[in-house]
Chains A and B, each alone.
Chain A
Amino acid sequence: MLPISKTIETDLVVIGGGIGGLMAAISAAEQGTRVVVLEKADTRRSGSGGGGCDHFFCYLPEVHGNDLDVIFQELMESQIGSCYDPLLTYQFMKMSSSIVRKWQEWGINMKPYNNEFVFRGHAFPGRPRIWLKYDGHNQKAVLTKKARSLGVTILNHHDVLELLHDGTRALGALALDNSRSEPSFVLVQSRCVMMASGTASRLYTPMSTPSTMFNTANSPANAGAGHAQALRAGARLVNFELPYRHSGHKYWTRAGKGTWIVIFKYPDGSNVGPFITKATKEVSDITSDVWNNVFTDMAREGRAPIYMDCSQIDEEDFQCMMKDFESEGLTSFLNYMGKRGLDLRKQAVEFGQFEPYFLGRGVEIGVDGQTTLPGLYAAGDVVGNVRGAIAGAAVYGWICGENIGKRYQDLEIKPVADLDLTRERMEFFSSLYERKSGAPWQEGNWGLQQILTDYAGAGPERVRSETLLSAGLKNLRELRELCKAEMKVSNSHELMRAAEVFDLLDVGEAIMLCARERRETRGLHIRKDYPFTNPLYNKKIFYIERRNGEYVVGMRDKYK
């Protein structure tokens, strides 16, 4: 068996040092909580916010006026609110301005234009604006420095393999020390656990480049660890069956569409959408915000490619956009323009729709940030019932940390080394390393991607049905057994990737179980055997959880 290199005791262990994890760590540490952050890479650059971001949704009374409801309604009714719990979204809104002020104070520029709060991007003509333009290029470095200044212990290159629990509450984490190629385990026992592991990329075959798995919109290193580990531990997860797809330049999968100042055009030069005739930094074309499938729909009609045309925008707006690309973390795209001679004033860029990943699909939390498993809190893209992304991660990370800081002393630290779960998982991961030969982790990941794409595909071009999903479940379970029996790793890096594949397999199984139960068509969840949308489900959320070793899929009312 692989050795345990250290055992750590602390009040709070944070799984994942992204925006949500670091904000929870800072908030808890400010109240005197001892905090250890386990980060699979390095908190200065890890996660989907590692390169930056340029839009932060929030409610600022001095900009929006004193009626929070106006902005709350805009969030719930726009393209990003429909599957969330109103109660949590409202709490987010109330807290958001205080987080904006903290970030500004710590050194993240929330006023990059004329030292004022400016709201633009994803802006609908004539409607309230919810996205604050900011410069997040240094956000991870700033938060890392702040956490360290408060005494937070950050263990970089420590990938969490399993959330440890005794069936009644969270107790800590089993991590892999991947700071050296020779693998070893690290055990952390704690009063509380904060899950902030980010999104689940690498579930589906990449639409843009099927041959290249790490060409993803959000971080490909975020591979459903928290979703799967919380699910195995008995926490409740929501919205798994509702696919979410992003779009961007066609063969290089990247988020950041809201930063573009453009008009969407058909190949004959005519406008695709009816919303605007001239793009400005104040109002750009929101056609694909409203019509999420525009690129796929038009490809299927033979009317593609759809081009993003920036050539007719004013020079001042063009310079704003170029600056905002940098704030958004799209610096490699800027380098590409230089190297390949791409000039957005002269060339219009083809866009396409990408494969599904998880945003707003994940762990259920209460208004205090706690999951249904006592002692386990969660924030950011791993959460399913309130929006993650940068602002959601920042605000709910902070809320979690505050509540943990108030409550952690009520919970005891229990030893985790002797738990059956700990031993079983260590034996399993060791066996992947110790076997003499076998399959690389990539084969398991490709297998999962082909099964999910074929049997639990997302619309508009792919459909689901009882027969497809049931066959897909059988195939996935067979694949998991093959992976268990034959996957072979040679170092800590490969062990990290292999563990990600096993987590992704559990996420994939949960997607199919939930998709089978939602007997209707909604959004990109297209059930050919139930082609209607059932209005009785409008205010409901589907959940999945494990009870007594079995998955249970159910439906609940949205929390108001």
Chain B
Amino acid sequence: MPPVIDKEKCIGCGLCVEICPCEVFDIDHAPKTVPVVLYPRECWHCNACVLDCPRKAVDLRFPLHYMITTTDAAALNHKAGD
């Protein structure tokens, strides 16, 4: 589960390790290495690592069961006669 780090873009600054509110990364991060996601199930999907990464190297993977369930709005309103 999230976050996913692009190893090509990451410069190993460790900012994501520092700021993660749930400490999902291995806290013993060695400088200039790609951080290790050690506790993916503790991710809150707050997006802090994505927003603050200086190289935009972090992405969040959304768990399959975190579905936003929807219905087609036009069909919904058609039923109501709008």
**Do the two shown chains form a genuine complex with each other?**
yes
Pick the 7 closest A-B CB pairs, nearest first.
A269-B80, A311-B73, A269-B79, A332-B47, A347-B70, A45-B48, A350-B69
Complex-state Cα separation, A309 to B70, whole angstroms: 10
Chain A at the B interface: mostly helix, strand, loop or mixed?
loop
In the complex, chain B residues whose CB is within 8 Å of the CB of A336:
62, 68
When the two chains form their complex, are residues A50 and B46 in contact, meaning their CB atoms are under 8 A apart? Answer: yes
In the complex, chain A residues whose CB is within 8 Å of the CB of B39:
493
B residues bordering A, Cβ < 8 Å?
18-23, 26-28, 38-39, 41-48, 50-52, 60, 62-63, 65-74, 76-82
Q: Given contacts A42-B20, A335-B60, could you give 10 more A-B pairs where the C-beta distance is less than 8 Å?
A: A45-B20, A50-B21, A180-B28, A212-B63, A251-B68, A252-B45, A311-B76, A331-B50, A342-B70, A492-B27
Binds B, one of A7-15, A184-192, A213-221, A474-482: A213-221
Residue among A216, A332, A345 having the largest count of chain B Cβ atoms under 10 Å = A332
Number of A positions contacting B (CB below 8 A): 57
- Number of residue pairs spanning A and B whose beta carbons lie under 8 angstroms apart: 151
Minimum C-beta distance from B50 to chain A (A)? 7
When the two chains form their complex, are residues B27 and A179 in contact, meaning their CB atoms are under 8 A apart? Answer: yes
Q: Which residue of B lies closest to A336 (CB)?
A: B62
Return the contact of A180 from the options B27, B51, B77 (Cβ within 8 A): B27
Q: Which residue of B lies closest to A332 (CB)?
A: B47
A-B contact list, 29 entries, CB within 8 Å = A40-B23, A41-B22, A50-B48, A51-B47, A209-B66, A211-B65, A212-B63, A214-B22, A214-B41, A214-B44, A221-B23, A221-B44, A251-B65, A252-B45, A252-B67, A269-B76, A269-B79, A305-B69, A305-B71, A307-B70, A307-B76, A329-B47, A331-B51, A332-B46, A345-B73, A348-B73, A349-B70, A350-B69, A496-B23
The yes or no answer to A315 lying at the interface (CB within 8 A) is no
Complex-state Cα separation, A345 to B38, whole angstroms: 38
Complex-state Cα separation, A141 to B52, whole angstroms: 11
Q: With A157-B27, A181-B28 in contact, do A268 and B63 touch (Cβ < 8 Å)?
A: no
Return the contact of B77 from the options A44, A219, A312 (Cβ within 8 A): A312
When the two chains form their complex, are residues B68 and A252 in contact, meaning their CB atoms are under 8 A apart? Answer: yes
> In chain A, residues 242-256, which have Cβ atoms closer than 8 Å to a Cβ of chain B?
249-252
The yes or no answer to A270 lying at the interface (CB within 8 A) is yes
In the complex, chain B residues whose CB is within 8 Å of the CB of A178:
23, 27
